Structures are given as structure tokens and as C-alpha cells.
């Protein structure tokens, strides 16, 4: 499975959205250079309040551009970075990947998938109804979280729009994504 990087974004402050950039630099074990969520331990404010010593399994947030397309059809206007993602991809079914999948971004950077982003109420503050729009149910009635995936950086590298995304699945057995 391969795709492309549609956009890259970061914010040095704990803000909801992240500004698009020409490139971002991923740092192994830390995250996105210059981003507020960079660090070995949790950086998301709600998680820091609970336990600041937890490992940071949310160093990089990735969303598939196809979600933006789906939201547009539903009447929302969402551009890359506006939902807080660092990397917007196209052509990769991020939500179907198992835990431990490695995403090779550009020439050198590698992100290992840790789990799903759990959508929060900030989405509704951005656009009313957006949180419900990124939640759904599968055929069995199980909750489906569509607001992207989270990962940790395992290899440094710069990532730019247009870069290839190569997917390497972990060895079986595969474990489905759960919120991290």
C-alpha cells in the first residue's frame, strides 16, 4: 500500500489547528521539531494533567485527506492541519492499519502507528457538529473513530507535501487500532 503526503503542519503552541508548512522535520523518539506535542512523555495538556510521566504515544497525528473530502460532502469546510494533524496523507487507509505499522514518509522519516486519535469536543468548537461527523458505526454497530491516527517517530527525516508514503505492516498477528 502506498500513498502521498498531501500536507504537513505544526504549531509551537497548544492550539487546535496547525499551520501548513513547506516541510516538517521528524525527530526519532520525540515527534515533530517545533511542535507543541514534541517530547518523550505526554504533551497533550489533558494527559499531562492526569500523569505527565506517561510515554508520548501521540508524537505525530496523521489524517487521511479522504476524511476532508467526506466532511466537505457533509457540509463542513476543513483544510489540512485544521483538525490538529501534522501529516495529511492521500491514498492510504490509515484507519485500517494495525498497531505497529510503519509509515515511511519521504526519503528517511519513519512513523510507527500507535493507535487512533480519540476525537474531542474541540472539534465542535471549531465547527458545530464536526465531532459527530468524525464518529460513525460499522455494520456491527461498533463505534468508528475517523479523526486520524497517532504514531511515534522511529527514524528522523524531513517530510514535504508530495512525498511518498510507503506502508509496512507488522508481523502477524495484527492488532486493530484503539484510542491512545
Whether residue 87 contacts residue 26, with contact meaning beta carbons closer than 8 Å, is answered with no
Q: In 3-state terms, what secondary structure has residue 67?
A: helix
pLDDT band for 141, please (50, 70, 90 cuts).
very high
Q: What's the grid cell of residue 108?
A: 528517511
Q: Within a 10 A sphere around the Cβ of 78, how many other Cβ atoms?
A: 22
* Nearest one of 51, 1, 61, 72 to 26, comparing CA atoms: 61
pLDDT score recorded for residue 49: 87
Whether residue 68 contacts residue 80, with contact meaning beta carbons closer than 8 Å, is answered with yes
Q: What's the grid cell of residue 176?
A: 486493530
pTM of the model: 0.96
Q: Buried (b) or exposed (e) across 32-55, using 16+ Cβ within 10 A?
A: beebbbbbeebbbeebeeeeeeee
pLDDT score recorded for residue 1: 78
**Tally of CA atoms within 13 A in the half-sphere of 69 that contains its CB:** 8
**Cβ contacts of residue 63 below 8 Å, gap of 6+?**
80, 83, 85, 87, 88, 89, 94, 117, 147, 148, 149
Return the residue matching grid coordinates 496523521: 62
Predicted confidence (pLDDT) at residue 157 exceeds the cutoff of 90: yes
Q: What domains lie within the chain, and their CATH numbers?
A: 2-168 (2.40.33.20)
pLDDT digits (tens, 9 = 90+) for 91-129: 999 999 999 999 999 999 999 999 999 998 899 999 999
Average pLDDT over residues 57-67: 98
Amino acid at each position: 500500500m502506498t500513498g502521498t503526503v498531501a500536507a504537513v503542519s505544526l504549531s509551537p503552541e497548544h492550539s487546535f489547528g496547525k499551520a501548513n508548512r513547506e516541510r516538517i522535520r521528524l525527530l526519532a523518539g520525540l515527534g515533530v521539531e517545533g511542535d507543541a506535542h514534541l517530547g518523550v512523555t505526554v504533551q497533550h495538556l489533558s494527559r499531562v494533567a492526569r500523569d505527565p510521566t506517561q510515554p508520548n504515544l501521540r508524537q505525530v497525528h496523521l489524517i487521511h485527506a479522504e476524511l476532508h473530502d467526506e466532511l466537505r460532502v457533509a457540509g463542513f469546510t476543513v483544510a489540512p492541519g485544521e483538525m490538529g494533524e501534522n501529516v495529511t496523507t492521500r491514498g492510504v487507509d490509515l484507519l485500517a492499519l494495525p498497531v505497529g505499522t510503519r509509515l515511511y514518509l519521504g526519503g528517511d522519516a519513519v512513523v510507527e502507528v500507535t493507535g487512533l486519535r480519540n476525537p474531542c469536543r474541540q472539534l465542535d468548537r471549531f465547527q458545530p457538529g464536526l465531532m459527530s461527523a468524525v464518529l460513525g458505526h460499522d455494520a456491527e454497530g461498533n463505534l468508528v473513530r475517523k479523526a486520524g491516527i497517532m504514531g511515534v517517530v522511529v527514524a528522523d527525516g524531513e517530510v514535504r507535501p508530495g512525498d511518498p508514503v510507503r506502508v509496512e505492516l507488522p508481523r502477524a498477528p495484527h492488532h486493530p487500532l484503539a484510542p491512545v
